[in-house]
Amino acid sequence: MSFTTFGEIMLRLTPNDYAAKINSAKNFGVHFAGSESNVASSLAYLGNKTQFVTKLPKNQLGDAAVNSLRFYGINTNNILRGGNRVGTYFIEIGSSIRPSSVIYDRENSAIASIKNNEFDWEKILEGQKHLFISGITPALSKHCADEVISLAKVARKLNVKVSFDMNYRRTLWSDVSNARKIFDAILENTDILFGNMGVLNDVYGMTGEGSNSIDKTVDIITKAKNEFCLNELAFTVRDHYSANENGLSGIYIGANDPIVSDTYKVQILDRFGTGDAFAAGCLHGLNKKWDKEKVIGFATAAFALKHTIKGDQHTSNEEEINSIRNGNITGHVLR
């Protein structure tokens, strides 16, 4: 295998009528998703060998979550079974001036109840090239935070490259200082950082200088590279025009100057899982040893394309993403 991801996969409930509010919806679509599992499914769909590690209850909901992963060809052999419940989240899709919103119901989920040393990370990471983790799982419990930090340390010891998406969910943290302390420990063992300008401002109080969002992100990504002594960073840039329309870009920085992608103006069907599609696109390109301009171009095209697909999962293949990257964005019917 090439990639390992670790985190929580949840039950996603979305009104079948995408225009409906949660408080008036009568029927909900049922899916399974989560940041780390979304990255795993995107990587697997792009043809990469991928495994997802988590803990799920030993019941039909747990079985359904595992089956949803297997559908994409993800290896599930290292998923632990136990605990009481699958975490759940309700999504309300925004429109025009009404923003999208999320209600979490994930307290005391199976993964939140894990104990130290339940996972044999040296065995799980044997033969792996890359580990992907996010800032969401450490927020679920002290044991989850300890486990993610321990996992990153083991990966570094085994020369497995670590990528960290600094997802910061305000509603999951009681105090931003707790997040900062845990993120600091993860960053010490991080090779590639994913994120955006907002998360660095929220958690570290960092700001970017410039006349527009791209210039500000270039500035802040350069500061973050020096501040955290990182080898590589890949950030998304989002300009909000409404809940239905955004301008999207991506920026990568490694050993040389920052590389800025093209900008896409997209009409949004579902924006959830889009950052995960970006991270997976970037990791896919890096794994293929593409030049960095192609990597960030591909990742940003994946990021933009995912906005047009319902659900968290990005089910576009390499050819479809490259078509967007090559400028085929008029939406003409393919026959």
| Residues forming beta bridges with residue 240, ordered by sequence position | 246
The structure tokens listed for 288 are: 């293929």
Instruction: Spell out the residues 6+ positions from residue 3 whose beta carbon is closer than 8 angstroms to its own.
Output: 40, 43, 48, 49, 50, 51, 128, 129, 130, 131, 132, 283, 287
What is the full per-residue pLDDT of the chain (335 aa) written as tens digits? 599 999 999 999 999 998 899 999 999 999 999 999 999 999 999 999 999 999 999 999 999 999 999 999 999 999 999 999 999 999 999 999 999 999 999 999 999 999 888 999 999 999 999 999 999 999 999 999 999 999 999 999 999 999 999 999 988 998 999 999 999 999 999 999 999 999 999 999 999 999 999 999 999 999 999 999 999 999 999 999 998 999 999 999 999 999 999 999 999 999 999 999 999 999 999 999 999 999 999 999 999 999 999 999 999 999 999 999 999 998 877 77
**Pairing mode, if any, of strands 28-33 and 10-15?**
antiparallel
Query: Residue ranges per domain, the chain?
Result: 3-325
Q: How many residues does the chain have?
A: 335
Asked if 196 contacts 203 with a C-beta cutoff of 8 angstroms, the reply is no
Residue 100 per-residue DSSP state? P
Res 1: pLDDT: 56
Other Cβ atoms within 10 Å of 98 Cβ, number:
14
Tell me how far apart the alpha carbons of residues 148 and 20 are, in angstroms, rounded to a whole number.
Answer: 37
Res 330: pLDDT: 85
The structure tokens listed for 236 are: 């998304």
The domain made up of 3-325 has a fold known as: UDP-N-acetylmuramoyl-L-alanine:D-glutamate ligase (3.40.1190)
The residue assigned the tokens 């209850």 is 57
Res 143: pLDDT: 94
- Distances from the Cα of 214 to the Cα of 145, 211, 239, 249, angstroms: 32, 8, 9, 8
Tell me how far apart the alpha carbons of residues 220 and 210 are, in angstroms, rounded to a whole number.
Answer: 10
Asked if 116 contacts 169 with a C-beta cutoff of 8 angstroms, the reply is no
pLDDT in tens, 127-152: 999 999 999 999 999 999 999 999 99
pLDDT in tens, 30-81: 999 999 999 999 999 999 999 999 999 999 999 999 999 999 999 999 999 9
Asked if 163 contacts 283 with a C-beta cutoff of 8 angstroms, the reply is yes
Radius of gyration of the chain (CA): 19
**Pairing mode, if any, of strands 245-253 and 232-240?**
antiparallel
Output the CA angle 142-67-161, nearest 5 degrees.
Answer: 50
Tell me how far apart the alpha carbons of residues 57 and 62 are, in angstroms, rounded to a whole number.
Answer: 5
Q: What residue type is assigned to position 213 of the chain?
A: S
